[in-house]
Amino acid sequence: MIILAATPIGNLGDASPRLVRALEEASVIAAEDTRTTQRLLQALGVANRPQLIALHDHNEKQRAGDLVARARDEDVLVLSDAGMPTVSDPGYGVVAAAAAADVQVTVIPGPSAPVTALALSGLPTDRFTFEGFLPRKPGDRRAALRALASEPRTMVFFEAPSRIADTLTAMADAFGADRPAAVCRELTKLHEEVRRGALSDLAAWAADGVRGEIVVVVGGGAARVVSPDDALAEVQRLVATGIRLKDAAGEVSAQTGHSARDLYQAALAARG
């Protein structure tokens, strides 16, 4: 079978006895980074030296079929560098291929950065959405955030230290300066830190630089009641900033519930 195994996200003490046993018994491991897996085996005192196969974003599509075929005859352990495979990490392609081929898949549960950050955030946990990494380009990032502006569930994001200040500023612009949020960094590690507050305050704090691996948790938005005229005005405002009419209509539609087609047609009519 295919075995997805969660690995520690920082603290080696979070490695479960079941994970250690699987590492000791594995004959083949598909790993996001084989060097990271070698260090994990050594740190956990695992003497077993299984065959290590690199499985990452650039080769998963090509290797998924071979791994699934191999899993018909022996267990194939799938690891990411930290946390649960498939969650913003390689593994999804292998699981999809295994499901299509009717090959069994199981999971060794364990650490997960999104769920850990959500629990620490102090924000509602009854309903949430994981958004992963936002687009790198400012325009694409702005569009993605505007589409989430009215999302009622708590939102969880990954972000790189080099982009966190810009991202928090963009979030404050799209969601509102007072939207509650939390920045969680270095989870389960020695310098673990959780900063909670309004997006504008967190953006100001991050301006001086933030280090480590980061998860951002943002409170959901309150329901908005927007008239058709106000929605059209928002489309026109976005177009005036350089956004294509079609994209602007789509963004406002996602925020207000008004039909993107109707907004597009209304904006064209207003131009005429």
- CATH number of the domain where residue 15 is located: 3.40.1010.10
Q: How far is CA 36 from the centre of its chain?
A: 21
Beta-strand runs (E) in the chain = 2-5, 28-31, 51-54, 76-79, 105-108, 128-133, 154-159, 180-185, 193-198, 214-218
Cβ contacts of 243 within 8 Å, gap of 6 or more = 139, 143, 251
Question: Which residue segment(s) compose the domain that 181 sits in?
Answer: 114-218
Whether residues 60 and 134 fall in one domain: no
Whether residues 106 and 131 fall in one domain: no
Whether residues 32 and 74 fall in one domain: yes
Distances from the Cα of 42 to the Cαs of 4, 58, 196, in angstroms?
20, 27, 36
Domain assignment present for 88: yes
Whether residues 178 and 201 fall in one domain: yes
Whether residues 15 and 105 fall in one domain: yes
Whether residues 52 and 66 fall in one domain: yes
Domain assignment present for 223: no
pLDDT in tens, the chain (272 residues): 999 999 999 999 999 999 999 999 999 999 999 999 999 999 999 999 999 999 999 999 999 999 999 999 999 999 999 999 999 999 999 999 999 999 999 999 999 999 999 999 999 999 999 999 999 999 999 999 998 988 999 999 999 999 999 999 999 999 999 999 999 999 999 999 999 999 999 999 999 999 999 999 999 997 667 899 999 999 999 999 999 999 999 888 877 879 999 999 999 999 87
Neighbours of 178 (CB within 10 A): 12
Tens digits of residue pLDDT in 54-102 = 999 999 999 999 999 999 999 999 999 999 999 999 999 999 999 999 9
Largest pairwise CA distance in the chain: 75
Ramachandran angles phi, psi of 21, nearest 5°? -65, -40
Number of domains the chain contains: 3
Q: Which residue in 96, 104, 91 sits closest to 2, CA to CA?
A: 104
- The predicted model scores a pTM of 0.81
In this structure, what token pair is assigned to residue 170?
Answer: 């963009």
> What CATH number has the domain bearing residue 174?
3.30.950.10
**Domain end position, chosen among 111, 141, 174:** 111
**Domain end position, chosen among 218, 236, 262:** 218
Domain assignment present for 165: yes
**Domain end position, chosen among 218, 238, 259:** 218
Whether residues 161 and 207 fall in one domain: yes
